[in-house]
């Protein structure tokens, strides 16, 4: 089952565009939750994701009554020593059927003014977030607008780095960065209020983080996207798309399906047996 049907999602995209047109927000991330029943061992889904979608952050977390399985491409924030880094991901195309189509999709992604404008806005938001706890003048961007390819999609990715102020720590850095602008929109607080109105269910773990705060002061937090949540015989996963002024509802819904396809495949592979 889906929290929103295709038609309901597209209608909400139109409502989001009205909020954007009236100046409430510049960008808004709307998501759909997919849920169902299962008889699987959740760890088998983790094994499937490792095969199907190797990602910078692979995790299996067993909380007793809840298991969380993910293959996330995106860090919320990392802290190593005094160096803080964010990696905003915004801008998506499906992978091609062959190398030639892959190259064409990448070229079309990097030439798409809507995708680039959305990416620039979210890099700027990440710079602003980091600037709240970083030393003055230390925030810089690099790499800028590189394309990373995953099993089913490709994304535009940038890096934002800075030196943490001496009077700040990992917890303050986390508070400055959370939630990710790439998962809610900009400006964040108003975007979250509108999401609360337009999405029929609370997000739960979706767009949260899985990671660690180290005893040495370091931190690494992955955003819980491309993530399955198991509770008893129920499973759920969620995927979203960034809405801007000239978004096409049909295109954004297809992006939600492309981002969640890997989780459908992992469930099917675990069901069949690896």
- In the numeric block, the tokens 């993910």 are attached to 70
47 is catalytic: no
Three-class HEC string of the chain? CECCCHHHHHHHHHHHHHHHHCCCCCEEEEEEEEEEECCCCHHHHHHHHHHHCCCCEEEEEECCCEEEEEEECCEEEEEECCEEEECCEEEEEECCCCHHHHHHHHHHHHCCHHHHHHHHHHHHHHHHHHHCCECCCCCEECCCCEEEECCCEEEEECCEEEEECCCCCHHHHHHHHCCCHHHHEECHHHHHHHHHHHCCCCCCCCCCEEEEECCCCCEEEEECCCEEEEECCEEEEEEEEEECCCCCHHHHHHHHHHHHHHHHHHHHHHHHCC
207 close to 223: Cβ distance less than 8 angstroms = yes
Active-site residue identified among 57, 206, 235, 237: 206
182 is catalytic: yes
226 is catalytic: yes
Active-site residue identified among 182, 209, 224, 227: 182
82 close to 134: Cβ distance less than 8 angstroms = no
CA-based nearest residue to 242, from 131, 89, 138, 55: 89
Active-site residue identified among 87, 155, 209, 237: 155
CA-based nearest residue to 256, from 199, 192, 180: 199
Catalytic positions are 155, 182, 206, 226, 242
């Amino acid at each position: 089952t889906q929290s929103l049907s295709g038609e309901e999602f597209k209608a909400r995209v139109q409502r989001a565009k009205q909020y954007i047109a009236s100046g409430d927000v510049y960008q808004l991330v709307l998501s759909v939750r997919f849920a169902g029943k299962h008889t699987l061992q959740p760890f088998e889904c983790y094994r499937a994701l490792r095969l199907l979608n190797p990602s910078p952050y692979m995790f299996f977390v067993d909380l007793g009554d809840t298991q969380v399985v993910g293959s996330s491409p995106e860090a919320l924030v990392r802290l190593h020593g005094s160096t803080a880094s964010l990696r905003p991901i915004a801008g998506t195309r499906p992978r091609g059927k062959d190398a030639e189509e892959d190259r064409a999709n990448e070229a079309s992604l990097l030439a798409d003014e809507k995708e680039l404008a959305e990416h620039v806005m979210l890099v700027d938001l990440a710079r602003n977030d980091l600037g709240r706890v970083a030393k003055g003048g230390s925030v810089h961007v690099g790499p800028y607008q590189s394309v990373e390819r995953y099993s089913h999609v490709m994304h535009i990715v940038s890096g934002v780095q800075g030196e943490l102020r001496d009077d700040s720590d990992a917890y303050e850095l986390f508070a400055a960065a959370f939630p990710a602008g790439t998962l809610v929109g900009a400006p964040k607080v108003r975007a979250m209020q509108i999401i609360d109105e337009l999405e029929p269910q609370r997000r739960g773990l979706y767009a949260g983080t899985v990671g660690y705060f180290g005893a040495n002061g370091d931190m690494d937090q992955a955003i819980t996207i491309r993530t399955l949540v198991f509770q008893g015989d129920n499973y759920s996963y969620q995927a979203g798309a960034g809405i801007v002024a000239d978004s096409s509802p049909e295109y954004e819904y297809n992006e939600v399906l492309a981002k969640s396809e890997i989780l459908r495949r992992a469930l099917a592979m675990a069901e069949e047996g690896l």
